[in-house]
Amino acid sequence: MNLGKKPYLVAVLIQAIYAGMFLLSKIAFDQGMNNFVFIFYRQVIATVFLTPAAFYFEWRTAPRLSLVTFFKIFMLSLCGITLSLDIYGIALVYTSATLAAATTNCLPAITFFLALLFRMEKLNIKSSSGTTKLAGVVVCLGGAATLAFYKGPQLSIWSHHHRHQTPYTPHPHVPLQKAWIKGCFLMLSSNILWAFWLVLQGRVMRSYPSKLLLTSLQCFLSSIQSLVIAVPFARDINDWRLGWNIRLLSVAYCGIVVTGFTYYLQTWLIEKRGPVFLAMSTPLALIITICLSAFALRELISLGSILGGLMLVGGLYFVLWGKSKEQPLLVDSLANSSDTHKLESSELKDMEPSSPYDKNNFPSPLLPV
């Protein structure tokens, strides 16, 4: 079927949604919303939104949930969602929406490095693909260091009035530079936990392959975990009030649009064009966030943020290019081994996906819930 421009439009829409997430979260935090309470409400709304669809589509076909599998899902939710999002919220208070969008570009490199540690990936330095992936990881590390330690001159995109504005709202008791460096490391820590979630979720899905129920259960468990964490940090009842304001809009947007609607869009795009096509569009979120932040938040974009973001994008494409180079090598290797080992036809049939990009081969959603 000729899809035309539809996959490209969907890819742009996904990244625009994530840019909106970075922006609305930052606005809510700048206006005094407790970041721990924000994560709790976000996960509650996501649970309420996803659970009915999960039960309707997958309840009858879902496998039995054993105690061991439940414990794995609980720990996966704690590390990959609850702690990752809580740390992300703290980091966003110290830094900017632009930095949040920039650091997501290092996620494929971090995921590859963790998969290498868990022996889920192999690295052949002598091959061009292995060298390229290693270079991508190094470039991403350089980009992260540039974001943290080099600011440079500040660039005003929209108006000369921006020079009277601050590029972000740091914690009132932390010096400006220390707040930025602390925020950068917290943002990278959040991405590392997120990468752990991506790597380990693939293993959990082997014992519990119902994607929608798995996502709903993780959102539910994360809601409980987020509540336990939020209560000690938000003892004032006013911190829990939403009202018809940016607080309600931001948590509803993140819970419904980001978790629910984008989940479907990502699954559709991966099935039609593959995970690499989705990952290649990630830098669009950075570009959209820079424009929206400069316009809506009057953020000043530093030269260090631009250079660091470009390095992270470059590292992303290095890793993706190296991964794409491995696919022809894998096909050749399977063809050669079939000549010597005479694989059974039934085994070959099991190895072939039902579509060019079988969505069951990839953990979904690929981006945070």
pLDDT of residue 362: 40
Q: What is the mean pLDDT of residues 48-56?
A: 91
pLDDT above 90 for 71: yes
pLDDT of residue 335: 44
Show contacts of 68-73: CB within 8 Å, 24+ apart.
69/204, 69/207, 69/208, 72/204, 72/207, 73/204, 73/208, 73/214, 73/217, 73/218, 73/221
Q: What is the mean pLDDT of residues 120-144?
A: 81
pLDDT 10s digits, 150-199: 777 877 655 544 443 444 445 444 447 778 888 889 998 998 998 888 77
pLDDT above 70 for 81: yes
Q: How far is CA 349 from CA 218, 257, 353, 354, in A?
A: 33, 38, 8, 10
pLDDT of residue 105: 79
Binned at pLDDT 50, 70 and 90, residue 249 comes out as very high
Residues contacting 252, CB < 8 A, separation 6+: 45
Q: How far is CA 100 from CA 4, 103, 111, 146, 358, in A?
A: 32, 6, 17, 14, 30
* CA atoms of 360 and 357, how far apart (whole Å): 9
pLDDT 10s digits, 308-364: 888 888 888 888 788 777 655 444 443 444 444 443 444 334 434 444 444 444 444
**DSSP-derived secondary structure for 16-80:** HHHHHHHHHHHHHHHTT--HHHHHHHHHHHHHHHHHHHHHHHHTTTPPP--HHHHHHHHHHHIII
Q: What is the mean pLDDT of residues 274-292?
A: 80
pLDDT of residue 88: 92
